[in-house]
Structure 1
Amino acid sequence: LTFAYPDTPLFIANALLMLVIIYTIRKGIEVIARSGELLFIFMYVLAVAGFILIVSSGLIHFKNLQPILEEGLSPVLKVVFTQTLYFPFTEVIVFTMILPYLDNPKKAKVTMLCASGLSGINLIITMLINVSVLGVDLTARSQYPLLSTIESIQVANFLERLDVFFMLALIITIFFKICVLFYAAVIGTAHLFKVKSPSQLSYPLGLIVLFLSIAIASNLQEHNYEGLKVAMRVIHIPLLAIVPPFLLLVAFFKNRKKHGENTLN
């Protein structure tokens, strides 16, 4: 809304998206997965087309990438261990809510490792392109560096203003991220309160998410502050980086004890 539809009420945009997400959740995890298979291909077609257009426009300047590691590895490691490690990569823990419903759980480990690796590669390539096109200063100052990169595309003086590429990619990725997180919330709530039909919770929980999305921050600056500062300390680090390893440790000793008892018997 900040760059494409500034006059559209936030509630309307969020409500339309949540309606689609609630409908998808009610159809089950298989529908989410099959939608992902289809739109995954579409996303990569967009990415390849965008990359070809950027190269054709002559926008890439590799000099913008120099000097590489000007201040050494310490700034990179600082960002990794204070930000990137907790957001977005710790969010993959949400997929553990889906693992029990897989037809072939043995493939889950390889699939998740490959998916995490591919996500990292995509982020690296995107950032390299942004810095190559915009330079370090503009990339750091831009609210949406990828959008600024796409807006720079101009081929043969007629192919330009391809903001729709960014819009489509943004909507698709946000849709799937919220779908997976919301599905985990619905399943978790159903287990907690022993609800036999989890899909019944999609409407009330969807309304909660919708109204919280409006109330949690009054503007984009407040949203960024709460997401990168407050939520990082209150949610991401405790719930995504501390609790899961602790539960894994508990499960390890519990299974070890159970295995020992079975051996004695």
Structure 2
Amino acid sequence: YFIYNVARVLRDIGEMLLTFAYPDTPLFIANALLILVIIYTVRKGIEVIARSGEIFFIIMYILAITGFILIVCSGLIDITNLQPVLEEGIFPPLKVVFTQILYFPFSEAIVFTMILPYLKNPKKAKVTMLCASGLAGINLTIAMLINISVLGVDLTARSQFPLLSTIQSIQVADFLERLDVFFMIALVTGGFFKISVLLYAAVIGTANLFKLKSSSRLSYPIGLMILFMSMTISSNFQEHLHEGLVIEMFVLYIPLSAIIPPLLLLVAFLKNRKKQRE
């Protein structure tokens, strides 16, 4: 599950870079450069990933706030694009939440359960996880509100990268425009950390499964396997999107994120009760 997810995210980033920045560059080169950096990071351990995240967290928010200010200054926001609010009531949004958004992207947070045993202070994990999930939800909500306010509902729904289309619309005093690099930096940075965490979970999971003492050595073979998997996962980007949004939802997300974890929790609960009785 983690390896497949890494391949999908790597393909997403590679396709985006080729579509908007490097149309003449082979997909293999774009994916290979990113995965090599990630393999090096994962080999250094989870602490390096976490410390890098602390630094880039600040940079990401500086980019986000700057982009928001430029969008406001450009006069692109049209609040009427958000109307009518809840035209058909609260049930359509709730249906989308429980059939789509709950599984992607929030169910992918299951990957952090692979890191919990290595925390120095596991008691803080619950609060940190809830805060991080809440902050992610707020970020996604704000981003979607801005996209719809600028592009409208139809264009937002049709666009492959609506946030990129929004940023491309920025034009301040006939001077600041074509700020695609903002989106590129944010996407590559976010993708870097998502892939790093998923790859780290895949590496330590494989090491535990086969009882290997040194898990870091697995980062190279698994990373290379992911690189070639990202190339062969689909024949084109449209097929890649269909597989991720339709097929993967029922084959992977629902069973591995919504069915198996509660069953494992139930088994662990029953085992603990049995031990306590004994």
TM-score interval, normalised by the smaller of the two chains: over 0.9
Match for residue 108 of structure 1?
A: 125
In 1, Cα distance between equivalents of 2:128 and 2:276: 28
1:62 and 2:84 correspond: no
RMSD, aligned α-carbons: 0.7
Specify the alignment match of 2:88 in structure 1: 71
The structural deviation recorded for 1:6 is 1.8
1:234 shift after superposition: 1.2
The residue type equivalent to 1:233 in the other structure is F
Query: 2:145 matched to which residue of 1?
Result: 128
Alignment-derived partner of residue 255 in structure 2: 238
Unaligned residue ranges in structure 2 (runs of 5+): 1-17
Quick one: distance in 2 between partners of 1:29 and 1:247? Answer: 25
CA deviations 1:158-209 (Å, max 9, x no partner) are: 1000000000000001111111111000000000001100001001101110
Following superposition, which runs of at least 4 residues in structure 1 exceed 2 angstroms of deviation? none
Q: CA deviation at 1:231?
A: 1.3
Structure 2-normalised TM-score?
0.93
Q: Distance in 1 between matches of 2:152 and 2:92?
A: 18
Which whole-Å CA distance do the structure 1 matches of 2:151 and 2:247 have between them?
Answer: 30
In the alignment, what sits opposite 1:251?
268
Residue identity in the other structure for 2:142: I
- Within the alignment, does 1:28 sit opposite 2:45 as a pair? yes
Kindly state the Cα deviation for residue 74 of structure 1 after the two structures are TM-superposed. Answer: 2.3
% identical aligned pairs: 77
1:198-217 correspondence to structure 2 within 5 Å:
198-217=215-234
The CA deviation string for residues 81-121 of structure 1, in whole angstroms up to 9 with x for no partner, is 21111111001110000011111111000000000000000
Q: Relative contact order (C-alpha < 8 Å, sep 6+): which is higher?
A: 2
Provide Cα deviations, 1:117-153, integer angstroms capped at 9, x if missing partner: 0000000000000011111111111111100110110
Corresponding residue for residue 5 of structure 2: none
Total equivalences in the alignment: 261
Distance in 1 between the 2:231 and 2:96 partners? 29
Q: Corresponding residue for 2:68?
A: 51
- Tell me, which stretches of 5 or more residues in structure 1 are unaligned? none
Structure 2 residue aligned with 1:191, among 208, 211, 215? 208
Shift of 1:256: 1.2
Distance between the aligned counterparts of 1:62 and 1:145, measured in 2?
Answer: 17
**TM-score, normalised with respect to structure 1:** 0.97
Is the counterpart of residue 117 in structure 1 residue 134 in structure 2?
A: yes
